[in-house]
Amino acid sequence: MKALVLSGGSGTRLRPFSYSMPKQLIPIANKPVLEHVLEDIRNLGVTEIGVIVGGWAAQIAEVIGDGSRLGVKVTYIPQDKPLGLAHCVTLARPFLGDDDFVMYLGDNMLPEGTAHIADEFRAGRPAAQVVVHKVSDPRAFGVAELDENGRVERLVEKPREPKSDLALIGVYFFTPAIHTAVAAIEPSARGELEITDAIQWLLTSGAEVKASEYHGYWKDTGRAEDVLDCNRQLLMSLRPEIAGEVDEASELNGLVRIEPGARVIRTRIEGPVIIGAGTVVEDCHIGPDTSIGDGCTLRGSRIRDSIVLAGATISHVPGIHGSLIGRGATVDAGVETDPYHRLVVGDHTRIEVAA
């Protein structure tokens, strides 16, 4: 079995970050979302992975490389503009050949993994097997309507009156039968080849389509609040380790990971917290649920429930929470203030917080 990862979207809901980086490289617990995805696929026993890339191909390739660091082999497949998930299958046909494959959206986080679902697919080999998750408002999703045996009867995109609360969450398993279905469908009203239409074509043609429910934590990391929520979730299982320097005047409580080359000076840290390699934290209070990337500098500041990307500087800011601070950004304050601030700061931005 091979894998197809879709990583070509523009990420408009994550602006200003998506102006300067692909959303799939936003770090969760100091690791890009796309890297989490590739590791989950590797855990399925799949090592040949095609990655659909758009305008951010160079940045993605710089971070992921050929995949060998992650124990996989990555082939990059360019897409000039997004024309639908089924269009990605068409582009990837030379890579996929006649192999079964898993298709995985590159901004989805399923930290508890889908290995058991892959095993179900391998054992039964239906034409398609979709992964679904119960949601509170199915009207915002494509949903699967099932019979009593768990077979899919119908797929409905954003139904006004849902008959099911089982949303499609961006992981699909296919046999080569999907290629016939994709070739048979027409673009939708929005001009895209929809994978739901291709799966519905299989159903109408009498092919077997199954659904497997994923019961673990799932998040589409398309918005800042979703990224932060996912960061909290993954930090709960952080493996503590002190590989950097921590002076005697500092206090560490809970799950704390200090990466090599990092220095913590006169600072209180309440985990779960991860401090990236080469980062300097001095005279700070770092609260729970915070990830600080590599090569950052934090001095005289308080921060909690936030993600700070590589190379950022935060100086003398008395309170930051629920924030995303971009690569190389600078946040400082000339006058100390009491309240916490909530910020979404893009790459290489400078913010001055004043009373």
Q: How far apart (Å, rounded) are the C-alpha atoms in residues 139 and 133?
A: 14
The pLDDT value recorded for residue 85 is 93
The pLDDT value recorded for residue 56 is 80
Say whether the peptide bond before residue 16 is cis (omega within 30 degrees of 0): yes
Greater model confidence, 189 or 14: 189
End-to-end CA distance of the chain: 58
- Cα dihedral angle (33, 214, 181, 80), rounded to 10 degrees? -10
Both tokens of 176, joined, read 């080569």
The pLDDT value recorded for residue 251 is 97
Q: Which residues pair with 267 in a beta bridge?
A: none
pLDDT tens digits for range 34-65: 999 999 999 999 999 999 998 889 989 999 99
Residue 217 has pLDDT above 80, yes or no: yes
CATH number of the domain at 238-352, please? 2.160.10.10
- CA distances to 29, 112, 298, 312 from 123, in Å: 34, 21, 52, 48
Q: How far apart (Å, rounded) are the C-alpha atoms in residues 307 and 293?
A: 8
Average of pLDDT values for 232-251?
96
Nearest to 45 by CA among 100, 6, 94: 100
Both tokens of 26, joined, read 């936003």
The pLDDT value recorded for residue 121 is 97
Q: What is the DSSP string of 48-117?
A: EEEEEE-TTHHHHHHHHTTSGGGTSEEEEEE-SS---HHHHHHHTHHHHTT--EEEEETTEE-TT--HHH
Q: Which residues contact 188 (CB under 8 A, 6 or more apart)?
A: 84, 194, 197
Domain ranges for the chain: 2-234, 238-352
Nearest to 171 by CA among 116, 223, 247: 116
The pLDDT value recorded for residue 161 is 86
Average of pLDDT values for 153-179?
91
Q: Which residues contact 235 (CB under 8 A, 6 or more apart)?
A: 29, 255, 271, 272, 273, 274, 288, 289, 291
pLDDT band at 354 (very low <50, low <70, confident <90, very high): very low
pTM of the entire structure?
A: 0.89
Nearest to 158 by CA among 212, 202, 196, 200: 196
**What mean pLDDT is reported for the chain?**
89
- CA distances to 2, 26, 223 from 11, in Å: 26, 11, 9
Nearest to 23 by CA among 106, 87, 81: 106
Q: What is the DSSP string of 122-173?
A: HHH--SEEEEEEE-S-GGGSEEEEE-TTSBEEEEEES-SS-S--EEEEEEEE
Rounded to the nearest angstrom, the gap between the alpha carbon of residue 55 and the centroid of all alpha carbons in its chain is 18
The pLDDT value recorded for residue 15 is 58
Q: Which residues contact 119 (CB under 8 A, 6 or more apart)?
A: none
CATH fold, domain 2-234, is Spore Coat Polysaccharide Biosynthesis Protein SpsA; Chain A (3.90.550)
**Angle, vertex CA 186, rays to CA 183 and CA 189, nearest 5:** 150
Nearest to 208 by CA among 131, 144, 151, 150: 151
Task: Say if strands 263-265 and 245-246 run parallel, antiparallel, or are unpaired.
Answer: parallel
Average the pLDDT over each of 91-105, 145-159, 241-255, 315-329 and give the range with the smallest value.
145-159
